[in-house]
């Protein structure tokens, strides 16, 4: 009742005024979205370490031909495919991101040629005529040659316009070499692999003080130490790191299973990462590949497009064959970056190393797979695959803890200029009632009743998805109103101080999904200390997730209950009594 009173007062008073001012601000800034600046500000002002808190990872599917999964072969092919993507992007050859209302148009050569011939100013209308909608691609501008720079209280994003060098890390050492010439031609594959061989052979031991641990630190602490690095004479080396096309991490690690691979890609050992780079391409000793990306500049949609293109090109048109050898005449132009570290910086590295090791030990990560059904089966039941997995998570938490909690699912708003994400709220009265019925009332309910409840949850979840994708969610709107009040130095409205608003933004279950044949798995750390981070995918014949938590025992029980819940859903859809 108190929350309802506060909400009504906000709607008529401060909220109404802030909304009017937000609309006016949006109308004055037609070049961007109302959410863009507040969202950048939120990420860049966060003072927690980016690793474990913000940076997600994506694991690439292994190359279907085993011989191509050699570390050097795969690294070289992925480097070249990545640079091809960069050149296509830079020269405006990259095919636009488009949402097709009628999927058949996505493969139509006639449609592609028609759109290609239209002037840029009217091409959107041409696409609209056939129910195809171009999506925002502004985030791609920071995919390459970019870094997050630590600054006191608020970080900055840096992007170089024309750098040609690659940053390579091996055993905590930094190397740079040009992979593009003056007219953007890519270095020959044999020359690239020769440079990588040189790096692996030279960086055969760890440095006494691994500088990269500093990127795992609290942002204000890292900003202070970075200033010390600049004053100690390391400016040019830091510029070479920040402006590099991307970071390639050649790990001397051989993961024994998927859980170990996930830990490697999410945080690794700390010394062979530069977590501030827009993205790092990580190749393990046995040729497994993945991406760890800094989250402030962009979202999973841009990274997924990059991963899809690079995986497809590197596996269908590999530049380097397994039996290829580097030429002995290659001139190695690789530069090892050597840093001047005074006692204060060395001490800071030691402290950062210790803190990082303590944090990563506290976090558990487990992979989960369920193979009784997948997307195809759920679609045949005329239900939403995404809704079924989200419902399973709700039932699971209720089974384990006897209550429902705030949950979060990310939804892209790339349909809008400079759109980022909106929140889908999987927790609802419908999912609560369904969870209670399956967990506590199964003896009282018929299979038909339970199936109908699942169906209603699916329909409602589809509605939430549509609302979020079309900009009709409520989270970002309220976030922007709050940001506007803060930025103008106004007293915080009671609405945002109410425990209900605080509670709904403490997301115990935080989820995100990326569906692609190029993606083996993905994941991220929990967003709250008592929660779960769930990166999931629902594929044709099975579904699974990568779950993280600082509550190791609870995480294992959560996954056990998740299997139980999916089995219950399967039995209900099959018409079997529970």
Catalytic residues: 295
The count of other CB atoms within 10 Å of the CB of residue 473 is 20
Using the structure block, give the residue that is written with the tokens 């449609």.
Answer: 111
Rounded-to-integer distance, Cα 246 and Cα 79, Å: 9
Rounded-to-integer distance, Cα 95 and Cα 305, Å: 11
* Two tokens, residue 278: 């827009």
Rounded-to-integer distance, Cα 303 and Cα 289, Å: 14
Using the structure block, give the residue that is written with the tokens 């239900």.
Answer: 383
The count of other CB atoms within 10 Å of the CB of residue 61 is 16
Tell me which long-range contacts 283-286 makes (C-beta under 8 A, separation of at least 24).
283/71, 283/74, 283/75, 283/78, 283/248, 283/249, 283/250, 283/251, 284/71, 284/251, 284/253, 284/254, 284/255, 285/71, 285/251, 285/252, 285/253, 285/254, 286/69, 286/71, 286/254, 286/255
Rounded-to-integer distance, Cα 290 and Cα 349, Å: 26
Rounded-to-integer distance, Cα 454 and Cα 565, Å: 12
Tell me which long-range contacts 42-45 makes (C-beta under 8 A, separation of at least 24).
42/479, 42/483, 43/295, 43/296, 44/148, 44/154, 44/155, 44/156, 44/157, 44/296, 45/153, 45/154, 45/155
The torsion angle over the Cα atoms of residues 298, 148, 278 and 173, rounded to 10 degrees, is -160
Using the structure block, give the residue that is written with the tokens 């949950």.
Answer: 407
> Rounded to a whole number, what is the largest CA-CA distance in the chain?
79
Q: What is the 3-state secondary structure (H, E, C) of 165-207?
A: EEEEEECCEEEEEECECCCCCECCHHHHHHHHHHHHHHCCCCC
C-alpha pair distances (Å), 37 with each of 141, 400, 490: 16, 39, 18
């Amino acid at each position: 009742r108190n929350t309802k009173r506060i909400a009504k007062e906000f709607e008529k008073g401060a909220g109404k005024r802030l909304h009017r001012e937000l609309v006016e601000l949006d109308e004055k800034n037609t070049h961007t979205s109302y959410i863009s600046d507040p969202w950048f500000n939120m990420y860049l002002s966060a003072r927690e370490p980016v690793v474990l808190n913000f940076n997600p990872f994506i694991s690439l599917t292994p190359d279907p031909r085993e011989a191509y999964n050699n570390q050097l072969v795969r690294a070289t092919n992925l480097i070249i495919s990545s640079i091809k993507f960069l050149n296509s992007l830079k020269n405006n050859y990259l095919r636009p991101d488009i949402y097709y209302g009628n999927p058949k148009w996505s493969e139509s050569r006639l449609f592609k040629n028609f759109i290609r011939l239209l002037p840029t100013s009217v091409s959107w209308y041409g696409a609209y005529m056939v129910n195809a909608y171009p999506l925002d691609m502004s985030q791609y501008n920071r995919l390459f040659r970019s870094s997050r720079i630590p600054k006191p209280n608020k970080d900055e994003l840096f992007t170089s316009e024309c750098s040609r060098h690659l940053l390579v890390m091996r055993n905590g050492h930094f190397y740079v070499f040009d992979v593009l010439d003056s007219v953007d031609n890519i270095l020959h594959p044999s020359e690239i692999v020769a440079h990588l061989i040189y790096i692996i052979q030279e960086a055969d031991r760890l440095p006494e003080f691994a500088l990269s641990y500093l990127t795992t630190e609290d942002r204000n602490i890292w900003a202070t130490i970075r200033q010390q690095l600049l004053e100690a004479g390391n400016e040019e080396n830091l510029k070479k790191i920040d402006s590099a096309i991307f970071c390639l991490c050649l790990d001397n690690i051989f993961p024994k299973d998927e859980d170990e691979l996930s830990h490697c890609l999410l945080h690794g050992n700390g010394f062979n990462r530069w977590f501030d780079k827009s993205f790092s391409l990580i190749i393990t000793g046995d040729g497994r590949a993945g991406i760890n990306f800094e989250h402030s500049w962009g979202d999973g949609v841009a990274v997924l497009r990059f991963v899809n293109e690079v995986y497809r090109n590197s596996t269908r048109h590999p530049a380097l064959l397994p039996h290829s050898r580097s030429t002995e005449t290659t001139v190695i132009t690789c530069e090892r970056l050597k840093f001047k570290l005074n006692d204060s910086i060395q001490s800071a590295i030691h402290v950062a190393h210790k803190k990082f090791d303590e944090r990563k030990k506290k976090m558990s990560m487990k992979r989960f797979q369920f193979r009784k059904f997948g997307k195809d089966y759920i679609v045949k039941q005329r239900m939403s695959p995404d809704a079924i997995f989200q419902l399973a998570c709700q039932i699971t938490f209720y089974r384990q803890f006897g209550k429902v909690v705030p949950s979060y699912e990310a939804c892209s708003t790339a349909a809008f200029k400079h759109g980022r994400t909106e929140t889908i709220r999987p927790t609802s009265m419908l999912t609560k009632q369904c969870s209670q019925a399956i967990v506590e009332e199964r003896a009282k309910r018929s299979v038909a009743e339970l199936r109908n409840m699942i169906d209603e949850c699916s329909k409602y979840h589809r509605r939430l998805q549509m609302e979020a994708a079309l900009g009709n969610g409520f989270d970002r709107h309220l976030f922007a109103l709050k940001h506007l009040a803060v930025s103008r130095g106004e007293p915080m409205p009671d609405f945002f101080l109410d425990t209900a608003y605080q509670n709904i933004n403490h997301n115990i279950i935080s989820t995100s999904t990326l569906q692609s044949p190029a993606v083996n798995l993905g994941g991220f750390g929990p967003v709250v200390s008592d929660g779960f981070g769930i990166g999931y995918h629902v594929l044709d014949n099975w579904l699974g997730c990568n779950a993280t938590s600082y509550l190791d025992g609870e995480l294992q029980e959560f996954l056990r209950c998740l299997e139980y819940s999916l089995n219950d859903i399967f039995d209900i859809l099959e018409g079997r009594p529970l």
